[in-house]
Amino acid sequence: MASSELAQKLQRRLLLEESDPQPAPGGEEEAAAGRGAGQEEDEEEEESRSSMLASADSELGAKLSRRQDINEGTARPRQAKVFNPYTEFKEFSRRQIKDMERMFRLYDSGKDGYIDLMELKLMMEKLGAPQTHLGLKNMIKEVDEDFDGKLSFREFLLIFHKAAAGELEEDSGLMTLAKLSEIDVSTEGVKGAKNFFEAKVQALSSASKFEEEIKAEQDERKREEEEKKHRRAAFKELKSAFSQ
């Protein structure tokens, strides 16, 4: 009985193996090759996507890291670009820029070339328009191009540039500073012109005006030198008269 059942099982196994279709010669290799090529393309696409994401993440991470350093006060200041205020801020005359520079140096009590929060606080108090701590921070933030939390001379000039161009809110702290500084930025310059033709005339005459101001400064220096010579000569005559 057992041998009969075993014989039946073996017969069914043979029938199943005969009915199972065999893969065509080379078909398995072609299928494997196709799967391999598709896998390689997927891997290359995934690698390219990963590279792009890594680059974007690195750039964003660097910006976020610098922003965090700035907020914590540990960021290294970036090297300031050397600029010529007379060529970059052509809307102002030499005398106006010199007045702004004189004011900037007056309140730069640390003599480090910057006006920090406390120095700006003192400036606004002396101008008769004290500001809150948050107000002072907002004033700096509005023109703080390098995010160092203080005003360079160029950023200080931007205050008057924005005031002359009408880019400041009337009741803002920066507009108050520009008004109380006693530096008139509304009567001169291309930005303050009423229309295009006035602006063009002022632009054409700016070069000659610039030369005239330089010549006036040179003449003033010559007069000072002549006065010094006369004083030295008079002193020598007085000295020789006493020695006789």
The pLDDT, as a whole number, for residue 6 is 65
Going by pLDDT thresholds of 50, 70 and 90, the confidence category of residue 38 is low
Please give the angle made by the CA atoms of 193, 194 and 195, to the nearest 5 degrees: 95
CATH class for domain 85-180? mainly alpha
Average pLDDT over residues 196-211: 49
Q: Which of the pair, 229 or 2, is modelled with greater confidence?
A: 229
Query: Is residue 86 exposed (0-12), middle (13-18) or buried (19+ Cβ within 10 Å)?
Result: middle
Average pLDDT over residues 35-41: 60
Segments in the chain forming alpha helices (H): 2-19, 27-72, 85-88, 94-107, 117-126, 133-143, 153-164, 173-180, 196-243
169-176 contacts at long range (C-beta below 8 A, 24 or more positions apart): 172/139, 172/142, 173/124, 173/129, 173/131, 173/135, 173/136, 173/138, 173/139, 174/139, 174/142, 174/143, 176/124, 176/127, 176/129
Average pLDDT over residues 208-220: 70
The Cα 44–Cα 185 span in angstroms is 61
Specify which of 76-90, 102-116, 192-206 reaches the highest per-range mean pLDDT. Answer: 102-116
Instruction: State yes or no: pLDDT of 28 exceeds 60.
Output: no
The Cα 9–Cα 236 span in angstroms is 140
Q: Which of the pair, 81 or 188, is modelled with greater confidence?
A: 81
The pLDDT, as a whole number, for residue 30 is 53
The Cα 82–Cα 113 span in angstroms is 13
The Cα 97–Cα 86 span in angstroms is 8
Lowest mean pLDDT of 13-17, 220-224, 228-232, name the range: 13-17
Q: Which of the pair, 88 or 204, is modelled with greater confidence?
A: 88
Name 90's Cβ contacts closer than 8 Å, sequence gap at least 6.
189, 190, 203, 206
Q: Which of the pair, 185 or 94, is modelled with greater confidence?
A: 94
The pLDDT, as a whole number, for residue 199 is 44
The pLDDT, as a whole number, for residue 3 is 60
Structure tokens at 88: 């970059």
pLDDT in tens, 109-152: 999 999 999 999 999 999 999 999 999 999 999 999 999 999 99
Lowest mean pLDDT of 16-25, 172-181, 227-236, name the range: 16-25
Average pLDDT over residues 84-103: 92
Name 50's Cβ contacts closer than 8 Å, sequence gap at least 6.
none
In terms of phi and psi (left: phi > 0; alpha: psi -120 to 50; beta: otherwise), the region of 80 is beta
- Structure letter (DSSP) for residue 91: T
The pLDDT, as a whole number, for residue 149 is 94
Percent of the chain with pLDDT over 90: 36
Q: Which of the pair, 187 or 45, is modelled with greater confidence?
A: 45
